Structure 1
Amino acid sequence: MQSALDALLSGTARDPVRHALGLEALDRQLRPLLPPGLAMHVKLANVVDGRLVFLADSPVWHARLRLATDQLLGAARSVGLEVHEVAIRTTSQPLGPQPPQAAPRPRVPGPAAQEAFRAALDTLADDTGPADRKPHG
């Protein structure tokens, strides 16, 4: 069975599915080698003509990855890639699964609002009692 890296670098990389799988496998190999905190904000997008192409999810992470370029090239070479350049693109889309958002907490009215609500209900109850009801006609 051919490794993902071999598939990526060989002629079979022309198959888009194999190319995508190879990139995904290579991304999983490179992420742990990135500086702490950076890995969840960048993703390997492509390897082409000796260039690693990364996506960053904001300009801040783009700049931090740019600062780690030498480290990144060394990491890529350590897994067998012959690369000499890193290109970084910034995207506005999240790069990974987002944590589920907590459900909004129900708003509990304060004591003054509760008292006002009770007073309004009492007023309605007094006005709509059986003796006060008028026939519609």
Structure 2
Amino acid sequence: MSEFQPKPGKSTRPPSTPTAALDALLAVPAGNTLRRALWLDELDRRLRPLLPFPLSAHARLANHEHGRLVYLVDSPVWRAKLRLLAPELMSGARSMGLDAAEVVIKTSLPSRAPAPPAPAKTVTMSAAAKKSLEAALASLKSTDPDGSDDAG
């Protein structure tokens, strides 16, 4: 038997295996926050099909606590549309086993990066405009009594 092959009855696993990062985070007491965030994300995915297409892109479940479904939308227009669908959302949440007594909708504008500066505009001239400009510049030049041009 080769020395590199495992001996019968011995484990083929190395003596210490690294724990996955997510498992390590969930193991510590602070993992409860992460567990709740993952649960809310899954709940949002399950409730999202109840929203019509344009609205589902602008609304996100932010919290569920004490029978309240809290949604975030990105403009007042979507807030009004979501408010009309509140009864359907509550019945859908109840069918999933959640205690849903009310829907709270908050408007939160998405963070926007400052707009990049506008590029300098290139001015294009027609041939006639260019000729007129050159003539105007030439008329501004004064001529010395010696006959030499002064750029002035």
TM-score w.r.t. the length of structure 2 is 0.55
Higher relative contact order, chain-length normalized (CA < 8 Å, sep 6+) = 1
- Structure 1 Cα separation of the partners of residues 73 and 121 of structure 2: 37
Q: Which runs of 5+ in 1 are unaligned?
A: 1-11
Q: Give the corresponding residue for 1:86.
A: 103
Question: Which has the larger helix fraction?
Answer: 1
Count residues with an aligned counterpart.
116
RMSD: 3.9
For residue 60 of structure 1, what is the amino acid of its counterpart? V
Q: Give the corresponding residue for 1:109.
A: 123
Task: Name segments (4+ residues, structure 1) moved above 6 Å.
Answer: 121-124, 131-134
TM-score w.r.t. the length of structure 1 is 0.60
Q: How far is 1:120 from its partner?
A: 5.8
Q: How far is 1:35 from its partner?
A: 2.0
Q: Give the corresponding residue for 1:33.
A: 50
Cα offsets for 1:33-83 (capped at 9, x unmatched): 212311111111100011101112121111111100111112222333221
